[in-house]
Amino acid sequence: MDNKRSLLDIIDFYLVTDSGLSKKGTLSDVENAVAAGCRIVQYREKSRTTKDMVLEAAQIKKLCGGKAIFLVNDRVDVAMAVDADGVHIGQDDMPISMARKLLGPDKIIGLTVHDVEEAKKAEQSGADYVGLSPIFNTSTKKDAGTGIGPESIRAVKDAICIPVVAIGGINKENCASVVRGGADSLVAISAVVCSEDVRKETMDLIDIIRKTRLDKK
């Protein structure tokens, strides 16, 4: 897992699944994103039974193989059942300390944060990375709130030492501003899973992220 955790420092595009938005289905989305070079996948599912989630999560883990980190959103029990690489949790979910006790010291735990103070607390609590949300207004998550803007990323990045993943309303048109703002990685849900060609969209985003990073140097 140490090798997987070190990948957090070099990830670029971060796939979060959404069966409600997906055109081709969650498994197809994961397969194509990983084939395109995506190095981290979060399985987010809100409408299936626990049994179905465990079965699907096991399939996703196989698709990720040794190529991508595999995390489960919210559901620590599902992550444990399939021995995922870790979880991503929200402010109102299980506390990091409890999740860590259940998962053990080697698993990755990410936490959604909305500002500098929450980011600092996340790091102090033992989070391996934070998901800063929402950068732009988004319809993907109904309770996400108003976008804070890419210029807000830098303050969070400068306040903590763990990676910052940007999420919320990000697409190919605005993702460069997110990278320039200081994000280590970014999530673009609807821009990818709503497309007819997930592999191409993922490749395009990775290409923009990497070129923007080079331009910053």
Q: At 165, which CATH number?
A: 3.20.20.70
Q: Residue 3's pLDDT is what?
A: 66
Q: Residue 143's pLDDT is what?
A: 65
On average, the pLDDT of the chain sits at 94
Average pLDDT over residues 181-197: 97
Cα–Cα distance measured from residue 42 to residue 8, given in angstroms and rounded to the nearest whole number: 13
CB 133 within 8 A of CB 167: yes
For a pLDDT cut of 90, what percent of the chain falls above it? 89
Kindly list the distances between the CA atom of residue 117 and the CA atoms of 126, 127, 187, 213, in Å, as whole numbers in the listed order: 15, 14, 22, 27
Cα–Cα distance measured from residue 133 to residue 44, given in angstroms and rounded to the nearest whole number: 16
Q: Residue 145's pLDDT is what?
A: 74
pLDDT, tens only, 55-75: 999 999 999 998 999 999 999
Under the banding of pLDDT at 50, 70 and 90, the label for residue 208 is: very high
pLDDT, tens only, 151-172: 999 999 999 999 999 999 999 9
Under the banding of pLDDT at 50, 70 and 90, the label for residue 9 is: confident
Kindly list the distances between the CA atom of residue 161 and the CA atoms of 5, 7, 166, 178, in Å, as whole numbers in the listed order: 14, 15, 15, 18
Q: Domain of residue 202: give its range.
A: 2-216
pLDDT, tens only, 125-156: 999 999 999 999 987 666 667 899 999 999 99
Average pLDDT over residues 179-198: 97
Average pLDDT over residues 198-202: 98
Number of domains in the chain: 1
Cα–Cα distance measured from residue 175 to residue 166, given in angstroms and rounded to the nearest whole number: 9
CB 125 within 8 A of CB 95: yes
Q: Kindly report the pTM of this predicted structure.
A: 0.95
Residue 98's contacts (CB-CB under 8 Å, 6 or more residues apart) are: none
